[in-house]
């Protein structure tokens, strides 16, 4: 395994859409619609550029994409951003890549004028490691919307000031 680059690559390429789809699907956390949406955000950025409102960081190991994040400004706010996605290939989880990718995303958001980052996830037990990851990265749980995604599946919203 090669060392991962720092800083991460920010400009998406055509090859990133299927790579993102592969990474998100490989985590076994997301349903087919969510996997499709992850890919579509890359395609939207490729089609519309920065006007899409989607910004990315990609972690590559040689020609292989091994992780990525997607974030963007929240319309109607002065300086708040959503972190839409952060995913690491299961073969690279536990290596610190997710934390490095999160920190780099936060630096990029701050560079773009962002002061708050919001991220959401499911309240289901399967997502306990995801919630623990956000807390370990310095995020605070700021809201829980019960039954948001469906019966027994609430939305947990986290925030971090950057």
Residue 104 has pLDDT above 70, yes or no: yes
Closest CA to 9 of 46, 52, 59: 59
- Go through the chain and tell me how many residues it has: 162
Query: Which residues are within 8 A (CB) of 36 and not within 5 positions of it... i.e. 6 or more apart?
Result: 21
Residue 137 has pLDDT above 50, yes or no: yes
For residues 2 and 51, the model is more confident at: 51
Neighbours of 46 (CB within 10 A): 16
Residue 38 has pLDDT above 80, yes or no: yes
Cβ distance 66 to 19 under 8 Å? no
Q: Which two tokens stand for residue 8?
A: 């991460």
Q: Which two tokens stand for residue 118?
A: 């919001």
Domains of the chain: residue spans and CATH: 16-114 (3.40.630.30)
pLDDT tens-digit readout, 54-78:
999 999 998 899 999 999 999 999 9
């Amino acid at each position: 395994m090669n060392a991962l680059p720092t800083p991460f690559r920010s400009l998406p390429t055509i090859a990133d859409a299927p790579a993102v789809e592969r990474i998100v699907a490989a985590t076994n956390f997301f349903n087919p619609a969510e996997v499709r949406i992850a890919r579509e955000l890359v395609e939207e950025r490729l089609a519309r550029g920065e006007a899409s409102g989607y910004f990315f960081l990609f972690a590559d190991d040689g020609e292989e994409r091994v992780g990525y994040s997607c974030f963007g400004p929240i319309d109607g706010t002065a300086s708040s951003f959503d972190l839409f996605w952060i995913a690491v290939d299961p073969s690279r989880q536990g290596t610190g890549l997710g934390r490095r990718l999160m920190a780099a995303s936060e630096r990029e958001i701050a560079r773009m004028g962002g002061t708050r980052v919001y991220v959401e996830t499911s309240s289901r037990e399967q997502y306990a490691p995801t919630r623990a990851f956000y807390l370990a990265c310095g995020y605070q749980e700021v809201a829980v919307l019960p039954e948001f995604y469906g019966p027994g599946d609430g939305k947990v919203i986290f925030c971090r000031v950057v």
